[in-house]
Amino acid sequence: MCGIVGYLGKANAPSVLISGLKRLEYRGYDSAGLAILDGDKVLVSKASGKVANLSERASINWPPELFKRVGTGIAHTRWATHGPPTEVNAHPHLDKTGEIALVHNGIIENYRALRARLEGKGHHFVSETDTEVLSHLIGDCDKGDLFQAVCDALHQVEGTFGIAVISSREPGKIITARRGSPIVIGVGDGEAIIASDASAIVAHTQRVIYLDDDDIATVTADSVDIRDLNNVPVTREIAELGLDASVAEKGGYEHFMMKEIHEQPDALANAIRGRLDLQLGSSVLAGMSASQRELAELSRVVMVGCGTSLHAAMVGEYAFEDLADIHAEVQQAAEFRYRNPIIGNRDFVVAISQSGETADTLAAVKEAQQKGAFVMSLVNVVGSTIARETGRGVYLHAGPEISVASTKAFTCQVSVLLMMALKLGRGRRYSREEGLKLAREIDSIPELVNRVIAKNDLIAEIAENYVKDEHAFFIGRGPMYPVALEGALKLKEISYIHAEGYHAAELKHGPIALLQPGTPVIAVACEGPAKDKTLGNVEECRARGARILGIITEGDTNAEEVMDDFISIPKAHPLVATIPAVVALQIFSYHVARLRGCEIDQPRNLAKSVTVE
Ligand code: F6R
C-alpha cells in the first residue's frame, strides 16, 4: 500500500525514480510524485493517476538536462488514506521553507493535534494529508541537522511510518526511517536505492539492509549509518536478495495475474520441495520448530489472516480437523485483538499473509504473542515484518506476487497448510499409510495445476457466457466452501461483477431470493463427501432458472448433466482438490475481466499489501 523509492548515486535520479515507481505501482496507483535536489532547490513534480502521468508531467515541466544529470531524489506512488487522490494530496510534501521534502507510507494517527499546534505557530497547509503535517514538523524541528530533526519529529508521532526525507540544505543524503511500514536499503556500488519493497531495488543491486521498527538511517551514495531514535548506533546485516530482475516483468503475458497463474506449478513445486517425507508419510517443516511432543500437546490451531489469506486459512481449518484431529478455527485478523480472544500457551496461532505486511494480521500476531500462544507465520515475502515479528514460520517460496489479485500465494498457502496438518496429524492419529497416501497427493499438486492451466482456452470460451452478467453467486460445501468464497472474491475484485460466495446450504436461507432466470451460479462440486449435497443445492438453483457453471471432477457425468457449463479438474483428495479448483476459478475470473476490458493488475480502489487498519 503506497510505494517509496529514493535514489542517490551515479545515475540520473528522475529516471531511476520513475522506473522504480513503475515496479512499485502494484502497491498503490491513484497518484504519484517525485522530488529531486537541483543545486540549492528542491524540485517537485506530481500527478494524479498512474505513474505514466507523472512521467509525462515531469518531462513537460522539467528541462531535458535534468534527465541527464546525476542526482538525489525521492518518489512515491499513493493509495489514498487522508484526502482524495488529487495532485495536491500526492507525495512528496514540503515543509514550510520548501527546502525539505518527505514521502511517507503509513498513518500519522495524531496528525490533527500536530497540525493544530503547527498552525498555531504560523504553518499553513495546502493538502488534507497527515504526511504534510509530518514534513512541516520535521522542518519545525530542523535546527541545522536533518537527521536530528527527523528523530525529534518522529518522537512526537503516533502511528506508523516508512519515510524518506531530503533537504536542499544537506544534499547528497536521504534520511529514512520505519515503524510498522517496511523500508529496504539497496547498497550498490557508489549508489544507494531506498524502497518500500525489494522489487524497486532488484534492478540495481542484490545487497540489501532491512530496517527494523524505530531504526533511522542516514544514507549516502557510499554509506549507510543506522541508529535508533535516540541516536544510538545499531547494526543491521546486509542480506542477499536472491531475486532476478525479471520477476518484476510480465514475461510476454498481457497481465501479471496471468503470468502468476501460469507460475503456479513452479511456485507450488518450490513450496513443497524438500518438505515432504515420502518414507514416513509426513512433512518436514523447519519453521514449525517445536518437538513432536510439544506439537502433540497443542490443544488448538487458530489461523488469522485477511482476504485471500483468510480463505486459505479456512481450507486449513478443514485440514487440521480432518487430518490432525485437532480443534481448529479461523479468525479474521482485524477482529482478533478487539474481541479479546481466549488464547493460551497450548494454542498454536498461525498468521497467514502473502506480503507479511498486512497491518491487521501483524496486530493479531502481537496480540497472540502477548497472550503466550505458540505463534508462527506463513508468509511469502522474505524478511517482511510479520515473518520477523514471529521469528518462526514457513515461507511459501512462491516468488514475488505483483498482481493485486492474489493467485499463487493462495495455492501455496493451502499446500503448506496441508503439509502442516499432515505433520501434526502424524504426531496424533494419522497412520503412516494414510500419511503416505496424502503426501503423494500433495507431491502431485504442481501436475494437477498444470492440467487445469492447460484448459485455459476452454475456460476462456466459457467465460464469454458470463461477461454481460452483473451478479453472480458462488457456492460450495466442506473445503470447497472457502474455494467458492475465493472464487467470488477473484471475480468481483478484477471484473467488478457483484459476486457473492455462500455455503451451498445457506443459499436457501435468504440469498436464493435474488435468483432470477439466467442468474449465474458457480457451483464448486468436486468429488468428496459433500458433492451430492452440493448437487442437490444446484438443483434448487436450477429450479429457479439459474444458469449453472460447475467446477467438477473429470469424468463425473452425473455432475455434468446438471450444469449448463462445466470446468473439470483432475480427481484428487478433497482437500488437495481445493487447489486445482481455485486455479480454474482464477482463470475464469481473469478471462471474464479481460473480456470486460478491466484493468486486471490494478483494480480500482485496491492496493497490494494493506498496511493500514
Ligand atoms: C485478494 C487479495 C487480498 C489479500 C489481503 C491480505 O486477491 O490479495 O484479499 O489476500 O489483502 O494480504 P496478505 O496476504 O498480504 O496479508
Helix (H, G, I), strand (E, B) or coil at 352: strand
Q: Which three cell numbers stand for residue 451?
A: 492440467
Distance CA 602, CA 598 (A): 9
Reported as a pLDDT band with limits 50, 70 and 90, residue 291 is low
Helix (H, G, I), strand (E, B) or coil at 317: helix
Cα dist. 541→419, 498, 518, 529, 584 in Å? Answer: 36, 18, 10, 20, 21
Helices (H), 213-263: 256-262
Q: Residue 102 in contact with residue 138, Cβ under 8 Å?
A: yes
Distance CA 149, CA 138 (A): 6
Any residues with CB less than 8 A from the CB of 302 and at least 6 apart, and which? 328, 329, 330, 331, 341, 343, 347, 348, 349, 350, 368, 373
Reported as a pLDDT band with limits 50, 70 and 90, residue 292 is low
Of 36-40, 101-105, 205-209, 437-441, which gets the smallest average pLDDT? Answer: 36-40
Distance CA 493, CA 405 (A): 7
Q: 443-496, pLDDT tens digit by residue?
A: 999 999 999 999 999 999 999 999 999 999 999 999 999 999 999 999 999 999
Q: Which three cell numbers stand for residue 461?
A: 470460451
**What distance, in Å, lies between the first and last C-alpha atoms of the chain?**
12
**Is residue 286 over pLDDT 90?**
no
Q: Which three cell numbers stand for residue 221?
A: 551514495
Distance CA 449, CA 453 (A): 6
**Of the residues 2, 141, 151, 598, which is catalytic?**
2
Distance CA 85, CA 1 (A): 14
Distance CA 149, CA 135 (A): 10
Q: 294-309, pLDDT tens digit by residue?
A: 777 888 999 999 999 9
Ligand 1 atom 3: residue of nearest CA: 307
Cβ atoms within 10 Å of 517's Cβ, excluding its own? 8
608 an active-site residue?
yes
pLDDT at residue 289 in the model = 66
β pairing state of 41-48 and 393-395:
unpaired
Helices (H), 555-598: 557-561, 578-595
In the chain, the domains with their CATH numbers are 2-248 (3.60.20.10), 250-443 (3.40.50.10490), 450-603 (3.40.50.10490)
Any residues with CB less than 8 A from the CB of 571 and at least 6 apart, and which? 527, 553, 554, 555, 577
Q: Residue 248 in contact with residue 401, Cβ under 8 Å?
A: no
Any residues with Cβ below 6 Å from ligand 1, and which?
A: 306-309, 353-355, 358, 361, 405-406, 489, 493, 609-610
pLDDT at residue 172 in the model = 94
Q: 334-389, pLDDT tens digit by residue?
A: 999 999 889 998 999 999 999 999 999 999 999 999 999 999 999 999 888 999 99
Strand spans (E) along 110-260: 161-167, 174-179, 184-187, 192-195, 207-210, 215-219, 224-228, 239-240
**Is residue 293 over pLDDT 70?**
no
Q: Which three cell numbers stand for residue 153?
A: 519529529
Helix (H, G, I), strand (E, B) or coil at 165: strand
Any residues with CB less than 8 A from the CB of 241 and at least 6 apart, and which? 198, 201, 202, 205, 206, 207, 208
Cα(310) to ligand 1 centroid in Å equals: 8
Distance CA 351, CA 335 (A): 13
Reported as a pLDDT band with limits 50, 70 and 90, residue 131 is very high
Distance CA 589, CA 595 (A): 10
2 an active-site residue?
yes
Q: Which three cell numbers stand for residue 530?
A: 459433500
Distance CA 203, CA 24 (A): 13
Distance CA 243, CA 203 (A): 9
Cα(305) to ligand 1 centroid in Å equals: 8
pLDDT at residue 611 in the model = 78
Short-list 337, 269, 260, 270, CA closest to 302: 337
The single-letter DSSP state of residue 49 is S
Average pLDDT, the chain: 94
Q: Residue 435 in contact with residue 424, Cβ under 8 Å?
A: no
Distance CA 484, CA 15 (A): 44
**Of the residues 46, 408, 492, 608, which is catalytic?**
608
Ligand 1 atom 16: residue of nearest CA: 353
Helix (H, G, I), strand (E, B) or coil at 94: strand
pLDDT at residue 25 in the model = 83
Ligand 1, residue 306: give the atom nearest the CA.
6
Ligand 1, residue 307: give the atom nearest the CA.
9
SS (HEC) of 31-46: EEEEEEEECCEEEEEE
Structure-derived torsion over alpha carbons of residues 129, 354, 300, 428, reported in degrees to the nearest 10: -170
Ligand 1, residue 405: give the atom nearest the CA.
7
H or E stretch at 100: strand 100-105
The percent of the chain in helix, strand and coil, each rounded to the nearest 5, is 40, 25, 35
| Pocket mutation for ligand 1, best pick of 196, 308, 410, 613 (most atoms within 8 Å of C-beta) | 308
Distance CA 296, CA 286 (A): 16
Mean pLDDT of 272-279: 95
